[in-house]
Chain A
Amino acid sequence: MLLTPEVLTINILNLLFFIFASIAFYYSVKIVLKYDFNATTTLQYNLEKQSYLVAIIIKFIFYIKVLLFIFFIFTLDNISNILPGAMCGAGVVNATEYGNYLLILKIINLYIFAYWLVLNSEDMKSEKQKYLKLKFKVYIFAYFLLMLEIGLESMMFFSIDTKSVVDCCGSIFSTTDGTYMAQLLNIDPAILLSGFYAVFAFIIIAYILKNRYLFSLMNLLFAIVALVSLIAFFGTYIYELPTHHCPFCLLQKDYNYVGYFLYIFLFIGTFYGIVLGLISFNKEDENVKYKISLFFTTLYMFFVSYYPLSYYIKNGVWL
């Protein structure tokens, strides 16, 4: 079992999340089953008070969880220093059978928790709390994902053996071993780039048309295409090495921690874009969210595009 200060911090926080999230879960079920906005009974007034307090508990858990994602990535990167064979977080993720599932679940949860936070904020702005039942239903669903995440995280840290040699990112993200990852990395760059820029163009079109559903859908697609193209194409220009496809090495000092910026831009941009299709905001809020989303996705697009362009300008050839 691995127990660095960072892992200990994550485990203690997970214990607290487990306790408070479970209390919130109990009350959420009660609220979903018994809350009736028009009732003026003692039960209803108690539920109203409880819903306010429970929403605050959930809000704090999710705010911390969203921020902790960065800490989790940082922890993986740090652990890689003590794991034989690991050059970055990728080695740590692959050190156990739980790592990959955990990482995928964490990314999904990141969007779901952030969605809940926006839903809660909109609910609090409405006099009749129009999203109250929905937000507690979403929480009940998110609770199971949170518990799964806590379970997988604990099992992952518990199963890491610091004496076993793990694969480095070079072999995990290899283009030659016939795995799904290799197939993904071998996609023709022309197709990949066409997809990437086409989806971005559709985001702009959806913005001009102010079609929030199209905008939302395109942002969801952009999140996927952007991640794939970062690993398969843009990353190689950041490393200036055609065989290096690791999405974790970007987070290291050697590459000026550029990965943190890229992932944060991508998350904020696509999240605010996706959420526009899920929640009906007032015009002013909708406009703000359109602008935030577009600003960060554009920033991301320019940021990743800069690396191949600058490489080409400097060297006169593509990788």
Chain B
Amino acid sequence: MIKLQHVSKIYGKDIVALDDIDLSFNEGELVILKGVSGSGKSTILSLIAGLLKPTSGDVLVDNKHISKLPDHFCSQYRRDNIGFIFQKYNLIPTLSVKDNILLPLVPLNLDEDDLYAKLEAVTQMFSIEHKKEITVKNLSGGEQQRTAIARANVNNPKIILADEPTANLDEKLSKEFIQILKELKSLNKTIIVATHDPLFFDLDFVDRIVEIHNGKLDRKVACS
């Protein structure tokens, strides 16, 4: 479903983030990208999301050449297919939970009933419905994380990308997040998590752990 073929990414003139990577992800798979900071995990997520173009190589999603898409088509592809959960949530602090979640739907010009049906569905799913009207800056870290997850899922994307999703959470909230991941996997979504949090490495529902070191794949570990 997702294929990276001979992908290299060089920032500036000589900062090699990825070096001739070949990697694929199957539909419905949950894969952990493991590696220290600067190993290239986030770059892989950004390439799959179409936020970055590779320096060379090809990124395919459902046989579509994402790396060849012009920018405005990338936005459309992202809107339709990708839910991105960022390390720092990237919420708009002055907007309410409701407005943050509905933001990705604005370009779709949906009618109000559809908008609120989608809002209700995701806020209930991620236990944030009682905070809908609260401004995001007044939420706790865990609530902000759940808002970010709800926003990533409001379009019902088939691919969820999470970049260091528990970096700003304590252990209890991190475990809550892992529970949410399990629920998302049960919905047959393809989930790729870039993390160096050890909590993710022994989970029974994780399909694979891919280790990255200095922009290269170190090894692939299959989990039962």
Contacts and interface: CB of A to CB of B under 8 A. Distances in A.
Contacts of B56: 40-42, 45
A40 B69 contact: no
Nearest to A126: B70
A52 B74 CA distance: 14
B54 A127 contact: no
B55 A45 contact: yes
B58 interface: yes
B70 A45 contact: no
B155 interface: no
A48 B6 contact: no
B197 to A, nearest CB: 33
B72 A40 contact: no
B50 to A, nearest CB: 12
A124 B6 contact: no
A48 B53 contact: yes
A132 B166 CA distance: 44
Contacts of A42: 8, 55-56
B116 interface: no
Nearest to A127: B73
Interface string B56-72: 11100000000111111
A37 interface: yes
Contacts of A129: 70
Ranked nearest first, the 3 interchain pairs of A and B with the lowest CB-CB distance are A40-B58, A42-B56, A127-B73
Main secondary structure of the interface of A (DSSP, over half): helix
Contacts of B68: 37, 40, 48
Interface string A33-52: 00001001110010011001
Nearest to A41: B56
Contacts of B72: 124
A75 to B, nearest CB: 37
A124 B70 CA distance: 8
Contact of A127 (B53, B55, B67, B70): B70
A99 to B, nearest CB: 43
Contact of A40 (B6, B70, B71): B6
Interface residues of B, number: 16
Interface string A6-42: 0000000000000000000000000000000100111
Contacts of B58: 40
A127 B68 CA distance: 9
A226 B68 CA distance: 46
Nearest to B72: A124
24 contacts: A37-B68, A40-B5, A40-B6, A40-B54, A40-B56, A40-B57, A40-B58, A40-B68, A41-B56, A42-B8, A42-B55, A42-B56, A45-B53, A45-B54, A45-B67, A48-B53, A48-B68, A49-B53, A52-B70, A52-B71, A124-B70, A127-B69, A127-B70, A129-B70
A48 B56 CA distance: 12
Contacts of B6: 40
A41 to B, nearest CB: 5
Interface string B14-58: 000000000000000000000000000000000000000111111
Given A40-B68, A45-B55, 15 more contacts: A37-B68, A40-B5, A40-B54, A40-B56, A40-B58, A40-B67, A42-B8, A42-B55, A45-B54, A48-B53, A48-B68, A124-B70, A124-B72, A127-B70, A127-B73
B7 to A, nearest CB: 9
A37 B6 CA distance: 17
Nearest to B8: A42
Nearest to A125: B72
Contacts of A49: 53
A47 B37 CA distance: 31
Nearest to A128: B68
A40 B70 CA distance: 14
A31 to B, nearest CB: 14
Contacts of A40: 5-6, 54, 56-58, 67-68
A49 B70 CA distance: 9
A127 B56 CA distance: 20
B74 to A, nearest CB: 10
A129 B53 CA distance: 17
Interface string A103-129: 000000000000000000000100101
A48 B69 CA distance: 10
Contacts of A124: 70, 72
A242 to B, nearest CB: 56
Interface in B70-84: 70-73
A42 B70 CA distance: 16
A201 B117 CA distance: 54
B32 to A, nearest CB: 27
A48 B52 CA distance: 13
A49 B69 CA distance: 11
A282 to B, nearest CB: 16
Contacts of A127: 69-70, 73
User: Which of A42, A48, A52, A127 has its CB near the most chain B CB atoms (within 10 A)?
Assistant: A127
